[in-house]
Amino acid sequence: REITELMSLRADPASSCAEVKEKALEKASEIETRIVTLTNMAVALTRMAEKCDSDSLIGDCPILDALDDNSIGDSP
């Protein structure tokens, strides 16, 4: 998706290489932000899983309880 958006700039002959560079840096920043968000989610899920004894019934699942409380999946 990111590459396609950058390549679409070629369709406008008035575009400059500076515009492509600016968009590329914006995309890189967006990707870095997503990586941080996903890493934080992975850490949180791992911590939740470590607290699970696997013997509980679904109604007492600490992972689902934590997800209800924290809503870690509510990311942009």
- Model confidence at 76: pLDDT above 50: no
The residue among 8 and 43 whose pLDDT is bigger is 43
Q: What are phi and psi of 35, to 5 degrees?
A: -60, -45
pLDDT of residue 74: 58
Q: How confident is the model over 22-74, as pLDDT tens digits?
A: 999 999 999 999 999 999 999 999 998 988 888 878 888 888 888 888 755 55
Cα radius of gyration rounded to whole Å, the chain: 20
CA 44, chain centre distance (Å): 13
8's enclosing H/E stretch is helix 2-8
